[in-house]
Amino acid sequence: MLRTARSEVCGTDVHLWHGRLSGVPYPIIPGHVSAGTLESIRGPLAALDGSRLREGDRAVFFDVHRTCGRCRACTVHHTPTRCAARRVYGITDSASEGLFGGWSQYIYLEPGVGIARLPDAVHFDDYIGGGCGLLTAVHIIERAGFQAGESVLVQGVGAVGLSAIALAKLSGAAEIFAIGDPEPRLALARDMGAALTFSLSASSAAERLAAVRDRTYGEGVDVVIEAAGSPRAIEEGVQLVRDGGRYVVAGHYTDAGPSSLNAHHDINRKHLEIRGCWGSQVHHFAEAIRILEQHAATLPWRAIGQRTYPLTALNEALADAEAMRITKALVDPWRGEG
């Protein structure tokens, strides 16, 4: 049993709030990425690194608590994020089944959940500032096959995009561009490592293309990462990547409508590679912890989580997140308690 210290409000939660995801067994306890202190442990419990966990340890856990391990997605295709039996804290489990969500003072960690001790150097707010966006970004960078010295452009400066910028920076990117809004997020993108940022609303696609080509030998960037969720972003992204480059599409978590692509110009002749990226796996979680341990002191993940709300103010948190008034809302389920 984990005593929750922090949970988060992410884009998924806004979608859940509006009922946009199919198959969710409402009512649920939202909050899929959370951190806290191990309150009581039944039997010996091992962390992912093999060490013994003890009551009182600061701990975090991987939110995907079950994949079947037997279906063709799990065993043959090595795409466990596409397992039909996949279950995720805060999303797929009904509140009637137990404490399977982070917007709660306690969370039940069932057997088999991947747990990690939070390193001393990492504050709860660092971890939740990164949150699920950081895990997704670890997957994106892996999926991009990113190598030091490559140039990268990130579409979208929400939690996923900001972490992708940070990871590209850590991985030795030659130059990082970012597109998004509003300005405070673009400022955070620059703090994360972006050399050049574009306001989506205050610049035209033609201006962005010209500026990017001007700094990339006239070619476009090696890797474009889509973390925007907009059909128009897809149409622009294939223009910004160089011939023979890679385009990772990670931001379309829900259906935002169709994009129009010209297969001749945008894919075939460009010799382009487009890679969809869905969810994350437990090794991305382990990797995220290691990255935070090394870099939380110098990269501002904590700044992504701009404001912390008590359980009584969650509708306000959701509304603030939706209106993009804040980059990310954190949840402290003990705040306001006597």
Quick one: which segment of 21-29, 164-172, 183-191, 301-309 binds its own copies (CB under 8 A)?
164-172
Nearest to 259 by CA among 284, 281, 276, 280: 276
Q: Which of residues 53-72 bind its own copies (CB under 8 A)?
A: 69-72
- Contact between 190 and its own copies per CB under 8 A: no
CB of 255 vs its own copies, minimal distance in Å = 4
CB of 330 vs its own copies, minimal distance in Å = 25
- Contact between 110 and its own copies per CB under 8 A: no
Between strands 106-107 and 115-117, the pairing is unpaired
- Contact between 241 and its own copies per CB under 8 A: no
User: Residue 169, exposed/middle/buried by CB under 10 A (0-12, 13-18, 19+)?
Assistant: middle
Beta strands in 129-220 (DSSP E): 151-155, 175-180, 196-199
Q: Which is nearer to its own copies, 52 or 77 (CB)?
A: 77
Q: Which is nearer to its own copies, 167 or 331 (CB)?
A: 167
- Contact between 210 and its own copies per CB under 8 A: no
- Distance, CA of 142 to CA of 96 (rounded, Å): 37
Q: Which is nearer to its own copies, 5 or 83 (CB)?
A: 83
- Contact between 253 and its own copies per CB under 8 A: yes
User: What angle in degrees, to the nearest 10, is found between the helix axes of 205-214 and 231-240?
Assistant: 30
Structure tokens at 314: 């969650």
The residue with tokens 């009182």 is 56
- Contact between 121 and its own copies per CB under 8 A: no
Q: What is the CB neighbour count within 10 angstroms for residue 279?
A: 20
- Contact between 141 and its own copies per CB under 8 A: yes
- Contact between 256 and its own copies per CB under 8 A: yes
- Contact between 268 and its own copies per CB under 8 A: yes
Continuous segment of H or E residues that includes residue 3: strand 2-9
- Contact between 307 and its own copies per CB under 8 A: no
Quick one: which segment of 30-38, 87-95, 117-125, 290-298 binds its own copies (CB under 8 A)?
290-298
- Distance, CA of 144 to CA of 108 (rounded, Å): 35
- Contact between 46 and its own copies per CB under 8 A: yes
